[in-house]
């Protein structure tokens, strides 16, 4: 089943969920389970596909459907607590497990879209080969998410947040290390910028000289560790 067919089935199933009687607990649980399965299929399709589909329309639809399912979930819980059938605790547990699955899988589809956008931006701007050659777009996304208060929903709705974060880090690299070196393509600049970007006591001229004179025979010294060591040494901070 291709991506478009999965989306089509997902939409049909969503329409059925909208019309269901909330007291028909088994039917509702089964339909939400189907939605989880379809999200899982979307996820696998994206991971295995050689040609990346245009996710923007699909993700917009998923965001809308998520709101619908969350509302139905809330109404279902209220209805269930109102009628309290004999096995309502078990039904409630199953429903909550399914909703958690749904949220996680929805989140993964959203993240796929953001990662694709990052990759496209890096290639268009030619930053990939210069600064992010050995770092995947997924790693970049995880670094941005880790160092900010933004959710995947925020980063999807506001792609400028991601691109601004990347450009701010690159601007800092250019100011901090005026002379470009080939191994800069293998450094995790987002992490170093998060940790040292606000430091006003870093002397670019001193760092530039330190990079040129730095030597190490240890294979454990990665480019990221090397530049971090140089920054710390320039600040006279003991590692």
Q: Are residues 131 and 101 in the same domain?
A: no
Whether 169 and 228 map to the same domain: the answer is yes
For residues 92 and 134, membership in a common domain is answered with no
How far apart, in whole angstroms, are the C-alpha atoms of residue 163 and residue 197? Answer: 17
Nearest to 69 by CA among 41, 112, 38, 42: 38
Instruction: Report, in angstroms and rounded to the nearest whole number, the Rg of the chain calculated over CA atoms.
Output: 24
Contact 98, 32 (CB under 8 A): yes
Number of Cβ within a 10 Å radius of residue 221: 13
| 118-173 confidence digits (pLDDT tens) | 888 888 888 887 888 878 888 889 888 887 888 888 888 888 888 898 899 999 99
Among 106, 125, 144, identify where a domain stops: 125
Stretches where the chain sits below pLDDT 50 are 50, 237-239
Single out the residue in 125, 155, 190 at which a domain terminates. Answer: 125
Looking at the fold, whether 48 and 133 belong to one and the same domain comes out as: no
Residues 119 and 141 in one domain: no
Domain span at 101:
3-125
């Amino acid at each position: 089943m291709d991506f478009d067919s999965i989306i089509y089935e997902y939409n049909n199933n969503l329409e059925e969920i909208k019309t269901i009687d909330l007291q028909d607990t088994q039917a509702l649980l089964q339909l939400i389970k189907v939605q989880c399965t379809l999200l899982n299929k979307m996820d696998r399709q994206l991971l295995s596909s050689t040609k990346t589909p245009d996710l923007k329309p699909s993700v917009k639809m998923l965001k809308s459907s998520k709101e619908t399912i969350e509302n139905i979930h809330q109404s279902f819980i209220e209805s269930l607590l109102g009628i309290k059938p004999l096995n309502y605790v078990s039904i409630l547990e199953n429903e909550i497990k399914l909703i958690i699955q749904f949220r996680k899988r929805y989140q993964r589809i959203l993240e796929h879209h953001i990662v694709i956008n990052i990759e496209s931006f890096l290639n268009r701007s030619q930053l990939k080969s210069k600064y992010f050659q050995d770092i995947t777009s997924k790693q970049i996304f995880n670094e941005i998410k880790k160092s900010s208060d933004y959710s995947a929903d925020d980063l999807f709705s506001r792609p400028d947040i991601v691109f601004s974060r990347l450009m701010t880090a690159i601007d800092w690299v250019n100011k901090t290390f005026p002379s470009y070196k080939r191994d800069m393509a293998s450094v995790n600049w987002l992490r170093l910028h998060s940790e040292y970007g606000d430091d006003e006591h870093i002397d670019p001229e001193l760092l530039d000289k330190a990079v040129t004179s730095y030597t190490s025979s240890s294979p454990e010294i990665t480019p990221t560790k090397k530049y971090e060591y140089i920054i710390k040494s320039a600040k006279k901070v003991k590692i």
